Amino acid sequence: MAYRFTDEGWDRWRFAGLGLAALLIVVVPSLLLLQISRDSVNAANWVAHTQAVSARLYILQADIRDVESAALTLSKGVESDALRQRLRRADHVADTLHELSGLVSDSPEQLVRIGRVSSMLERRMALAKEIAVTPESLRQRELIEEMTFSYPVREIAIELQKHEDELLARRIAAAHKQQRLSTIVTWSTLAAQLLLLGLVLWLLKRQIGRRTRAEQRMLQASARASSVLQTVREPIVLLDGEQRIVLHNAAFAELYGVEDDDANGQPLQSIGDGAWADDIVRQRLADVLLRGRELWDYEHEQRSVDGLVRIMLVNARRMPLPDSDDEVVLMTVSDVTLQRAVQLRVEELNRQLEGKVEQMAEVNRELEAFSYSVSHDLRAPLRHVAGFSDKLARHLGEGADEKSRHYLQVIGDSARRMAALIDDLLVYSRLGRGAMRLQAVDMQSLVADTRALLDSNLRAETGADAAVRDVHWNVGPLPVLVADENMMRQVWLNLLGNAVKYTAGREHAVIDVSAQQLPDGSQQFSVRDNGTGFDMQYAGKLFGVFQRLHKASDYPGTGIGLASVRRVLTRHGGRIWAEAQVDQGATFHFILPPPAPDAHS
């Protein structure tokens, strides 16, 4: 698991490290100095101890010399109390030697030497006393020789002194070393403490700077929040637990006619001439604070200070205050009087529109039924007219004059045109009534099939021996869409058929078919020709039933094809329009929207 520290966490660790460093810099050197001081005192004590040993050795040697010199003088017959007193010092030599033994008790070598000196001094002092009472004789000389040569104390004393001098030198060197170490530690501690003090001052300055910048940011944020609060045109108010106003914006003061500073601390029910004197509203606000409930889009009708009855939309939720442990209610008020009036008006218009739509649907159903009925009912008399016309022509045979044959031809042509009109009307009616069968439709294949059909019709019209019209097709890549295949076939048959029909007067007819995808996913198709075109001021009549912009004698047709195209595209959620110039050709555009998410083949 990775841990992520915030600035506050780093500050805690930084100050903890700083405290630890201060502890190490202050306590450890103090303990070290205390130990060095103790070592220095010990070293000084040992120096004094060595000096005391040397002093005792000096006193011991002086006492020995005094005792021996007094004994020799007394042996010469010189009587003196001072000499007798000096001779009595032999009794104190053992005490001095005992003190010296206590001083060198830490050194086994010195104790051995002290032991040797002790045995020698005891015998030497006894010989000195005997010499003092022995008159000059051979015996006296023997005693002196024995005292001087048999018990040599001087060499041992010199060894004692030499050993103590060596100890003194070492202890003085140790004392100097402790003093130097104490000096180094003292100055190092001082430097570390100064560095620590500088670091503390730098951290304090940095912390003060950060705190100052944080306070400035807080003041700026508070000023911005206050500016936003006062700029918002929606009334906003904060309420405490007793529903007294803690804070509000200018929009609230303006709506309820209170001064900005006078409203703070006042009960909500005393604001706006009793606009909030509603027990239900106060209970709901109390539930927001006490039970943590939220009040959403609660409509409250109240009379404002201008005397108008308004519908207010109240929203409230509990919110903690950042500068205390108390919680308040944040309430926003929106005047939706106009919206409610508009909504009621829209609902009324929707009801009226639904009625109109139902009426239009009923009219369309009646028109489709009428068209279907008329189409079927007209077939019987039409068959009679066409049939009796043919029978009359056969009955007259060769005896019919030119005028009679002309009349019969007009009757036949009109009957066939009437039959075509009825067939197209039936197709138009079925396009509006039949259920759509949505599936994946390859527009490229539909256009290719339609083109092949139109080319075969052109060859059939011109005959086997006549030259076929020069029609140049430019068909771009076309997509696969979800649509009703039969209906799409009618669209292409009518649009491409019109392009072929209205380019009949061109020596080289050119027909372009293209498609492009729009940003919203829709597909836009275009059919462009270089035919006769039309005047754009009559473009609104193109897609009406039985509407024609050219004479039937110039271009055959019933005037229902483009109306059928529009009906198919409308049922697919698309649309169609045209652009043209007279004698410059025409372009028909239509758009099919992307399939719905639940569309399937």
Q: What is the tens place of the pLDDT at every residue in 298-314?
A: 888 877 766 778 888 88
Question: What CATH number does domain 435-601 carry, 3.30.1370.30, 3.30.565.10, 3.90.1170.50, 3.40.190.170?
Answer: 3.30.565.10
pLDDT in the model for residue 264:
72
Residue 288 pLDDT > 50, yes or no?
yes
pLDDT in the model for residue 376:
65
Tell me whether domains 345-433 and 435-601 share a fold: no
Q: Check if the beta carbon of residue 526 is closer than 8 Å to that of residue 515.
A: yes
- Which CATH architecture describes the domain 232-335? 2-Layer Sandwich (3.30)
Q: Check if the beta carbon of residue 55 is closer than 8 Å to that of residue 151.
A: no
The alpha carbon of residue 13 and the mean position of all alpha carbons in its chain are separated, in whole angstroms, by 26
DSSP string, 86-127: HHTTHHHHHHHHHHHHHHTTT-HHHHHHHHHHHHHHHHHHHH
Tell the CATH topology of 7-194.
A middle domain of Talin 1 (1.20.1420)
Residue 418 pLDDT > 90, yes or no?
no
pLDDT in the model for residue 3:
43
CB atoms within 10 A of CB 322: 7
Sketch the domain layout of the chain as residue ranges. Answer: 7-194, 232-335, 345-433, 435-601
Q: Kindly indicate the confidence band of residue 179, based on its pLDDT and cuts at 50, 70 and 90.
A: confident
241-271 pLDDT, tens digit per residue, is: 788 888 888 878 877 777 756 667 778 777 7
38-75 pLDDT, tens digit per residue, is: 766 776 677 777 777 777 777 777 777 777 677 777 66
pLDDT in the model for residue 476:
92
pTM (predicted TM-score): 0.40
According to the CATH classification, is domain 345-433 in 1.10.3470? no
Torsion angle, CA of 354/360/361/367, rounded to 10 degrees? Answer: 170
> DSSP character for 583?
T
In angstroms, rounded to a whole number, what is the distance separating the alpha carbons of residues 326 and 330?
A: 13
Give the per-residue SS3 of 349-395. Answer: HHHHHHHHHHHHHHHHHHHHHHHHHHHHHHHHHHHHHHHHHHHHHHH
